[in-house]
Structure 1
Amino acid sequence: MTSFQQARIDLGSQLRQLREAAHLSGKDLAERLRWQASKVSRLENARQTATEDDVVVWAQAVRAAPDTTDDLIRQAISLLERHDDWKQRHRSGLAAIQEDIRDLEARTKLFRVFEPGIVVGLLQTSEYARYIFQKVKRLYSAPDQIDAAVRVRMQRQEILYDRGRTFRFVVPESALRTRLTPVDVMRGQLDRLLAVSTLPNVEFGVIPYDNELPSAPINGFWIYNEAMIGVATLTKDLVLRDPDDIAFYVRAFDDFCEVADFGHEGRAHIIRILHDYGKQSSH
């Protein structure tokens, strides 16, 4: 067991003890917090990482002492700032990671995402996602929770239809041509992108091959509101909160937007790539 997993177990145990000391069932607490009852169970049993917001409202609901609340906040922040080894982290399960991401997304109003080599998780079809999780499972020896992980990823996508949120996605053309699945699954995925790109709160930009890039697309990154950057490498899941880091990635995202095609022009690239996949499948 990694130190990250142990720290998450310890925090979950403390949260459970506070709830029980307040004579509240998991259902009672969930109702007070307007959460799904399953979230209380996931946090207590270390199947999801508690955030700073989670522990603050939890502590308020159980009337925890100020010193206790401060300690819980410190633990939650420490967990979120950990640059933990992905192979170790995946031992907690693919579905648990998806739950962590969904909880973060629920607190985000403005999403800005650049992905150089894969279709963004929020936009994946279930078939595409299944192939991705199969590759992740093999690479990181993760537990076989593919069905559950796909289900949570599909549930995450409900947030796209919340008109109170704004989504800006940018990908190089190469990301849509990278064969991570069979051709028929890629075609279904591109059809999905065509549909989602017409949502009024979604902007989907494609950087065509012919356009010069402003910088090397080394890693994908997610900008959550103006507060946090998520950067995924093969072995580290980086969480950046420093204002200088945030400003840097916002500027990098804007640079990629400058050379991307959005709206009808962006969809024209998708249609062209879809046509090319059609020719491959006919052969």
Structure 2
Amino acid sequence: MTLEPERLGQSRSDLAEAMRTLRKRAGKTQTWLARRCNMSQTKISNIESGKLTPAIVDVELILAALEAGGPTADALLALTRTANTEWQDHWSSRRRGLDKKQNELARLEAASTEFRYFLLSMITGLLATPEYVRASIADVSGDQSKIVAKKLERQSILRDSSKSFTFLLTEQAVRWPLLPPLGMAMQLDWLASISRIPNVKLGVIPLDGHIPERPLNTFTVYDRRLATVETGTGALILRDHRDVEAYREDFARYEAYALFGDDLRQALSDWSTLFTRQRQ
């Protein structure tokens, strides 16, 4: 399937029309279909009007109830997967204001319980010192103080014991010198402190040894319902359960190569010392 960002919004209305047409051609009412699929009639109506984007499992149930298979089913399932994908480009986010993006992330974090962060090239704002946060948005025009404040405010969620966080960083992400040496040393010391929070599991994948994996992107998985994948120009928001599970499986593989606990803190201390020596 070719992914065209400009088609993602249109795919939702296309799916709604296709689902409505399929039911009518089968000569069935919304009430009949809802009963066969163990859904409410309101849900069926919202799917067919485009007010609700159905999950893959919803469409599979509807296809089975209407005895639709072959190319028709394949096309509808492909359309459903596209409809469950959202593209957020960096330019649009910056035009709206990155402080608003922080509000969106805060709402998503409030609604989620289990978080998995794979950080390929940088330290995420949830783990960053104020200096690192400021450096990470240095190229953003306008007043940056509101963005910095909101990023730091979001860090309080790490203390919410009802939620669990697992952060996997590559050694490259940890040691990339975004700040001068002393600032980087302080950032690494801060990571060591965060690693002691009971509901936070922080690991670093070292660059020595043999790692037969080839990660391509930074990504985050929220529970089992949503994954975000960052690219150089934006982020994909994936809601298809197959996509989410694929990233959970990737995360589990990468986790096997990471240092945790005392081993992690020793590595962070060693790298922090190297940064401190650079300053001398």
TM-score (normalizing by structure 1):
0.69
* Partner in structure 1 of residue 266 of structure 2: 268
| 2: CA distance, partners of 1:278 / 1:74 | 54
* Partner in structure 1 of residue 102 of structure 2: 98
Judging changes above 3 Å, is the alpha-carbon distance between structure 1 residues 254 and 192 closer, same or farther for their aligned structure 2 residues? same
2:132 to 128, 135, 138: 128
Gaps of 5+ in 1: 8-65, 138-142
For residues 122-151 of structure 1, what are the alpha-carbon distances to aligned partners after superposition, in whole Å with 9 as ceiling and x for unaligned?
11111100010113x1xxxxx413100110
Matches within 5 A, 1:1-283: 70=46, 73-74=51-52, 81-135=85-139, 137=140, 143-282=141-280
Letter aligned with residue 210 of structure 2:
E
| 2: CA distance, partners of 1:80 / 1:215 | 27
State the number of aligned residues. Answer: 212
> How much does 1:82 deviate?
3.0
Judging changes above 3 Å, is the alpha-carbon distance between structure 1 residues 243 and 276 closer, same or farther for their aligned structure 2 residues? same
| 1: CA distance, partners of 2:182 / 2:51 | 47
> How much does 1:211 deviate?
3.1
Q: Is the 8 A contact 1:113 1:222 kept in 2?
A: yes
Q: Is the 8 A contact 2:86 2:238 kept in 1?
A: no
Q: Is the 8 A contact 2:132 2:187 kept in 1?
A: yes
Larger radius of gyration: 2
Judging changes above 3 Å, is the alpha-carbon distance between structure 1 residues 80 and 125 closer, same or farther for their aligned structure 2 residues? farther
TM-score (normalizing by structure 2):
0.70
Percent of pairs with identical residues: 31
Gaps of 5+ in 2: 1-5, 10-41, 56-81
| 2: CA distance, partners of 1:72 / 1:201 | 39
Q: Is the 8 A contact 2:99 2:150 kept in 1?
A: yes
> How much does 1:81 deviate?
4.4
* Partner in structure 2 of residue 54 of structure 1: none
> How much does 1:213 deviate?
2.4
| 1: CA distance, partners of 2:241 / 2:276 | 45
> How much does 1:73 deviate?
5.0
| 1: CA distance, partners of 2:84 / 2:124 | 21
For residues 33-77 of structure 1, what are the alpha-carbon distances to aligned partners after superposition, in whole Å with 9 as ceiling and x for unaligned?
xxxxxxxxxxxxxxxxxxxxxxxxxxxxxxxxx79x9579549x9
Letter aligned with residue 115 of structure 2:
F
Q: Is the 8 A contact 1:172 1:208 kept in 2?
A: yes
